[in-house]
């Protein structure tokens, strides 16, 4: 599927947002585990959300990269 410029721009904006949210979650995980005593369930939720964001980021990046013909 070929994307027009408007679609590419929208995906790039979304990608910037997802990356910022991913960095924020990374910081939150670091802050949570910094003390040594932390809520394991909360940590698990943050890591799961972070992984979901990474999957979305990867999907958008693959849409923005042109297909390579082997």
Per-residue pLDDT of the chain in tens (70 residues, 90 and over written 9): 688 999 999 999 999 999 999 999 999 999 999 878 889 999 999 999 999 999 999 999 998 887 655 4
- This prediction has a pTM of 0.84
CA dihedral 39, 32, 29, 10 (to 10 degrees): 100
Note whether 21 and 54 are within 8 A (CB). Answer: no
**pLDDT the model gives residue 35:** 79
């Amino acid at each position: 599927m070929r994307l027009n410029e408007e679609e590419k721009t929208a995906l790039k904006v979304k990608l910037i947002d997802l990356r910022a949210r991913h960095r924020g979650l990374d910081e939150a995980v670091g802050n949570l585990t910094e003390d040594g005593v932390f809520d394991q369930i909360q940590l698990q939720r943050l890591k799961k959300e972070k992984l979901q964001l990474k999957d979305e980021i990867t999907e958008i990046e693959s849409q923005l990269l042109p297909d390579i013909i082997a």
